[in-house]
A and B are shown apart, each in its own frame.
Chain A
Amino acid sequence: MTAGTARNVPAHAAPDRRARLAGPPRAGTRLLRLHAASRRVPAAIVAIAACAIGLRIALLGHWDTYGALQLPLVFEAGCAAAITVTTASPLGEPERVTGRWLPFLRLATALALTAAATGALAAAGTGAHLAGGTLDVLRNLAGMTGIGLLCAAALGGGLAWTGPLGYLVVGAYGLYTQWHHPALTTPWIWPAHPPHDLGAAICAALVFTIGIAVITVRGARDPAGE
């Protein structure tokens, strides 16, 4: 390296400093984008949108009381499954040692997708008879997403959908027992309760909080290569 080239270094460093000043937001955005891409978040958003459109189309039809209650639950389960599947990492163990932002990225992804799904389903029900209303959508979706996130931590992101879908059957059965007694009254089967039921809302919120906490701290149990 000559003196000339050595002198040139500060000259080149000036734009780098500017880049470093402007860097964190850009780097953060890039990190967020890469994380979202690695988790197939765009595909999850498409799946959520498909569920919302499906719900909207279904709401155009005529449903009896039981069908009308069951209908949103099916699409809520679909959204919850799509959210939980995004926890699967294609990178596996190496990703965990690359930085301190990973838990925050997981948290942000799960929260953003849950909010998006709630909004999409609530929007799908606007102007139509959505049994239970937005509050019901929020409670059921949050609870089932929590179950899915816990399943992701236990089984892996790829198979995390088994939790929300298993719970879908349980929830539908809970609704069924409202007509065919004895009714299931436990608040842990929250879809069977009206939206203003505090016990059911607390249970769903508790499961969602635990699920979010676990997935933020530990992430999904994914074998590398899956």
Chain B
Amino acid sequence: MTAVRAPATARPAPAERGHLRAVARLLRLELRHNATPWMLPVAVGLFWFTTYRKATAMPPLWYPRAASLHTGALLAFACPVAGAAAWMGSRDRRRRTTDLMMTTAQAHWVRLLVTWTATTCWAIVGYLGCVAILYGVTARQASWGGPLWWPVAVGAASLPALSAAGLATGTLAPSRFTAPLVAVGAFFALALSTQPIRGSRSYWQISPVVSGPWDDGSDPGVATFYPYLPDLSIAQVMFLTGLTIAILGALALHAGGGRRLRPTAAACAAVGLLTAGTAVMLAGTGRLDSHGMIAIPALHDAANDRPLRYTPVCSRTAIPVCLNPAYTSYLPVTAAALTPVLNEIAGLRAAPGRISQAAANYHQDTGNSVSVSMAGPPHSSTPPVFRTLLPFQLSGPTMTTSELTAAVRSTAGPDLVADVIGDGPGATPAQQAVAAALRMSAGLPEAVLRSAPTRQRPNGAIVPLPVPVQAAARRFAALPAPARHAWLERHLAALRAGRITLAQVP
């Protein structure tokens, strides 16, 4: 019968358009009636208290702030988002509209999907707002480099997963206790999932709050001399995406639907689980690379191993002190800390032509401990450059200006003096005396009449110098600076060669 066939072929297109329009309208309604916007002030407040304040107190470097954002923002958003999603999931039961909703035109799984979309959209809007504020402030303060987007991507991928988990629990076990228990569970799972991590080969690094080698903190020396390695972030995004798809697939299976939907939902759940499992396996193959980040061989791009090119920023001191441009804000402090030493050694034949900041080298020790040392040799001969690792490249608490000055003086200063004079293991008493005298004249905080650990003697204990050496050091330090400098100019080669005796030191 032609009369029946004609409408059958004509209908599908408008029906599809109408269906989409209805879903879009439903989404608009869900966005208006969702609980997440009411939770956002809590999440943003927690972000400000736990993450923003901490991050902005850090040096204006992109990596430490991005790592802080990665962990802190997720923990701040976890409870409100998971709780709000569970709250939305149990809405029908709470309002006693479950039976009423069964009679609506849209299938149950479509309504759940729309609720999840609305919850996720609000959560991501709040999260990206927080990211924009922190990155905006950092962009104004940072002197070099650019925003790191992979940590942001991990956070953004976590929110749909949290939202899906909350919605699924709220739908499956609707009760007034579901939302708080889901929120507590989300926090527990995220905050304490890092406990089993032992070293860089742990599967638990897949936890989205992990931004690098665990327990090493957000080391300011990372991702400055070498590009940021996105390997772990890629695995985490894979895991979170897989988890989200698996949860939504399982939810669609539970919500029922047509014969076409069930196999699709089951396939989605299986693919999601497979993706998440693969990501976990990949995370377990990670290793701490020498640049302080987790490298996963299967996801690694060799191009990221090449050092970043930059033009150093240098001070106008007797010997220029040159730093990576990311550390521009540290240059005045570093130069001021080293100026007394530089004035003592400037012009001497063995003195370097420049003090240059070196990249750090990271090594995984037992457990989660990481040792940091200087990458490459301490010198480059042409042009003569003294390379040094500055204290703010090491992990540890953020230092104040005076702490930083003292730290630079007590580490780079003695190293520089020892390097020029030739002080170190097997140094002659004359070398020890002259080095101690120069440290004393430069006002180095380390007790000047003691043999301090230096790069040349890294494990050296702080032991008092012999009394004759101390006396010679005091005598030499008491000379006027020009006289001291003139003597060093004439005798430095012999002193370094060990041909000067203690008695010959003026």
Contact = CB atoms under 8 A, between A and B. Distances in A.
B176 A81 contact: no
A173 B95 contact: no
A85 B180 contact: yes
Interface string A57-90: 0000111100100110011011001100100100
Interface in A17-72: 40, 43-44, 47, 50, 61-64, 67, 70-71
B490 interface: no
B177 A169 contact: no
Contacts of B149: none
A165 B183 contact: yes
A140 to B, nearest CB: 14
B176 A158 contact: yes
Contacts of B60: none
B314 interface: no
Interface in B66-124: 75-76, 79-80, 83, 87, 94-95
A127 interface: no
A52 B233 CA distance: 35
Point out which of B76, B177, B184, B192 has the most chain A C-beta atoms below 10 A from its C-beta. B184
A168 B177 contact: no
B45 A81 contact: no
A50 B177 CA distance: 12
Interface in B125-184: 175-177, 179-181, 183-184
B129 to A, nearest CB: 18
A98 to B, nearest CB: 22
B79 A44 contact: no
A170 interface: yes
Interface in A147-200: 157-159, 161-162, 164-166, 168-170, 172-173, 180-182
A180 B176 contact: no
Given A47-B181, A78-B184, A161-B180, A67 B46 contact: no
A34 B459 CA distance: 74
A67 B217 contact: no
A166 B42 contact: yes
A169 B79 contact: yes
A173 B95 CA distance: 36
Given A47-B177, A162-B39, A180-B397, A81 B50 contact: no
Interface size range on A against B: 35 or more
A58 to B, nearest CB: 8
B504 interface: no
Point out which of B46, B80, B95 has the most chain A C-beta atoms below 10 A from its C-beta. B46
B50 A165 contact: no
Contacts of B179: 161
A16 interface: no
Interface size range on B against A: 20 to 34
A226 B94 contact: yes
A99 interface: no
Contacts of B188: 74
A15 interface: no
Interface string B26-52: 000000000100110010011001100
A225 interface: yes
Point out which of B45, B94, B180, B192 has the most chain A C-beta atoms below 10 A from its C-beta. B180
Contact of B50 (A43, A85, A173, A181): A173
A47 B179 CA distance: 12
B426 to A, nearest CB: 40
A91 B179 CA distance: 21
Given A77-B184, A169-B46, A169-B187, A82 B177 contact: yes
Nearest to A62: B195
A92 to B, nearest CB: 14
B181 A81 contact: yes
B46 A170 contact: yes
B192 A74 contact: yes
Contacts of A81: 180-181, 183-184
B407 interface: no
Contact of B46 (A62, A159, A166, A226): A166
A70 B83 CA distance: 20
B95 A165 contact: no
A47 B173 CA distance: 13
Question: Can you list the 6 inter-chain pairs with the closest CB atoms, starting with the nearest?
Answer: A161-B180, A81-B180, A78-B184, A173-B50, A165-B79, A67-B195
Interface of A: 40, 43-44, 47, 50, 61-64, 67, 70-71, 74-75, 77-78, 81-82, 85, 88, 157-159, 161-162, 164-166, 168-170, 172-173, 180-182, 225-226
12 contacts: A63-B195, A64-B195, A70-B191, A74-B184, A77-B184, A78-B180, A78-B181, A157-B176, A159-B38, A166-B45, A168-B79, A173-B50
Given A40-B175, A165-B187, A169-B76, 10 more contacts: A50-B181, A67-B195, A74-B187, A75-B184, A88-B176, A158-B176, A166-B42, A169-B46, A170-B49, A173-B49
